[in-house]
Amino acid sequence: MAISSPLEAFLNGSERVFWGYLLVSAIIALVWYVRQGNTLSWVQLKRYWWSLDARLDYRYFLVNWLIKTLLILPVLLSGQTVALWTLSALNAVADPLFLPWYYRDIVLLYTLSLFVLEDLSRYALHRWMHSNPWLWKIHQVHHSAEALNPLTFYRLHPLENILFALRHAVVAGMVTGVFIFCFGARVNLYTVLGGNLFIVSLFAFTGNLRHSHIRLGYGRWLERVLISPAQHQVHHQRRHMRHNFGSALAIWDGLFGTLKVSIEAPDDRSFGLGDGKRRHFDSVRKLLMQPFFSIYSSIRRTLK
């Protein structure tokens, strides 16, 4: 099996840290920072990009890539398999519809449907990671960062990577199967740089600012529709972790009562887990093993 380089994430337009997105985010961040009346120095840049959390994220990014490439991806359920199962199930109860829609309309609807349902499923799983005590012990790895940078996006435990990858396979596979049943094998995506048109359009410019200290808000009205970088930073604040579970769209948070617009949350930079918990997540080994220790301890307490 060929093993790609971890650096390909910076060259792949479907990845959050594609170099073009990073460059645009850096320009936006610089403009925002200067407009706030701040001055930028190399000392500040070094302090930010070479902080303890940043260095840990760099190391963990490489280790997590290796685990995902060697252990996770080879055994994961694929979206193609789910699509075939879905199509077989539909064919067992009815004949394919083969609706005579224009190809352009099919592709646009497929792209939009996949985007919306992917986003809803991400919201649901993310919220479950917070509400379920066992899953929270896994998701704590991501929230352990007290200083945010773009690679914090990849500070996810391998078990969480598996859950989100399975979520993607199920959603993408089921949507694809339904569309093939309805329209035949004319299903395709509108893409930009290899990614879903809608996702790239929303994330390309500000996606990397979500895990940063650049508190860029979209305003009270727009933040009820789209999740801004500031809103995701609010989610990383200890007192507001029960808000803003959305990935791209804020409408799910609004519908299910978890929305917090950024203007309602003071910028106190209280990232991380607090209560001295950082020491449990201050190395690559601890990021990988601490969830297992926590789950084991909980099981022991339950059995006593």
Q: How many CB atoms lie within 10 A of CB 26?
A: 15
Q: Tokens standing for 196?
A: 């879903």
User: Of all residues in the chain, what percent are helix, strand and coil, respectively (each to 5)?
Assistant: 65, 5, 35
Count how many domains the chain has.
1
Whole-number pLDDT of residue 1: 41
Q: Alpha-carbon distance 272 to 269, whole Å?
A: 9
Q: Alpha-carbon distance 285 to 117, whole Å?
A: 35
Amino acid identity at 99: L
Whole-number pLDDT of residue 14: 82
226 pairs with which residues across the strands?
A: 249
For 59, the domain range is 13-303
Residue 257 lies in a domain: yes
For the chain, 304 residues long, the average pLDDT of each consecutive 10-residue run is 73 88 92 84 89 96 91 83 96 94 95 96 98 96 96 96 95 96 91 83 88 94 97 96 96 98 91 91 97 92 80
Residue 115 lies in a domain: yes
Residue 2 lies in a domain: no
Residue 5 lies in a domain: no
Residue 194 lies in a domain: yes
Residue 195 lies in a domain: yes
Backbone angles phi, psi at 271, to 5 degrees: -75, 160
Residue 3 lies in a domain: no
Q: Alpha-carbon distance 143 to 153, whole Å?
A: 10
pTM: predicted TM-score of the whole model, two decimal places: 0.93
